[in-house]
Amino acid sequence: MSALPRRVVVAHPSALRKIVTPAQAGAQSPSPRPPATRLPGQASSPRGQGDLPARIFAMALGIAVFIVLWAFIAKFGRIPDPLSVGKEAVKIFSDPFYRNGPNDQGIGWNVLMSLGRVGIGFGLAAAVGIPLGFMIGRFRFLSDMAAPIIALLKPVSPLAWLPIGLLVFKAANPASIYVIFICSLWPMIVNTAVGVRQIPQDYLNVARVLNLSEWKVFTRILFPAVLPYMLTGVRLSIGVAWLVIVAAEMLTGGVGIGFWVWDEWNNLKVDHIIIAIIVIGLVGLVLEQALIFVARKVSHG
């Protein structure tokens, strides 16, 4: 027995994409287990384990080169240079939670509003998607039933659902939440279903020879065996949701980091847009790392 599923918890995103290709959404064939790839930041350099100071130096150098390149481009183009953006950033972050009416609020409020929408949409998607994934994974008939629908809807850009959301909910906020719900749903369903289908027959045989009750089978065998796959789905969903919320808010307006970007574009404050890009990147990074951390914790349970 080589890679047990719980060791695969922290597969690299590039490896995870395998699980969620549309072809497998229908899941006619059991897909290969995600390979136990290394974590980013954990000996992920192509030439194996470098020593830490050298790696920190390389990262610092990369950032420095990036900033120099940016400064160079800024000299000739219209984008603001790193220094002025830095100064502006200090100004913005010295008071991130101000409120001057509904359309002028600090960047902190904007990020929190966006995170709130992602949280609600994502939470609803988990509540629906994970049980659905379990059922689809466990019952062949349901899987075949769901396959064409998932295959058709999964590749659709979540933003295409926005008009439907606006039509149904007649308000921007629930419409964006609804878009997040839709885009988070598929990775959750598909990964949970794949996880259920990947449970080694050995474990199910243990359940059978012990003649365990359905509840015990679920809590002691199905759930722990599927948990790593589920968390992979959760991580993919959060990643997609964070990508999508920015675009959705640009279209719907209100308070939120996506809207903030668009608003600053209308004010022609390009330095603010660059700050927003960096903030969006950092928040996405933190979300991803937090879930990797959770996955790693759970995998040693």
Which residues contribute to the site for other proteins (CB under 8 A)?
1, 4, 6-7, 202-203, 205-206, 208-212, 216, 220-221, 224-225, 301
> What's the closest the beta carbon of residue 216 comes to other proteins, in angstroms?
7
> What's the closest the beta carbon of residue 265 comes to other proteins, in angstroms?
49
Q: Give the CA distances from residue 169 to residues 174, 212, 255, in Å, rounded to whole numbers and listed in that order.
A: 6, 45, 18
Residue-wise DSSP of 82-139: HHHHHHHHHHHHHSTT-BSSTT-B-HHHHHHHHHHHHHHHHHHHHHHHHHHHHHHHH-
Vertex 272: Cα angle to 182 and 288 (nearest 5): 40
The answer to whether the Cα torsion of 184, 37, 65, 293 is positive or negative is: positive
* Cβ-based nearer residue to other proteins, 14 or 211: 211
* Cβ-based nearer residue to other proteins, 7 or 55: 7
Q: Give the CA distances from residue 28 to residues 137, 142, 155, in Å, rounded to whole numbers and listed in that order.
A: 11, 12, 18
The number of angstroms, rounded, from the C-alpha of 194 to the middle of its chain's C-alpha atoms is 18
> What's the closest the beta carbon of residue 192 comes to other proteins, in angstroms?
17
> What's the closest the beta carbon of residue 27 comes to other proteins, in angstroms?
20
* Cβ-based nearer residue to other proteins, 203 or 265: 203
* Cβ-based nearer residue to other proteins, 56 or 210: 210
* Cβ-based nearer residue to other proteins, 129 or 228: 228
> What's the closest the beta carbon of residue 212 comes to other proteins, in angstroms?
6
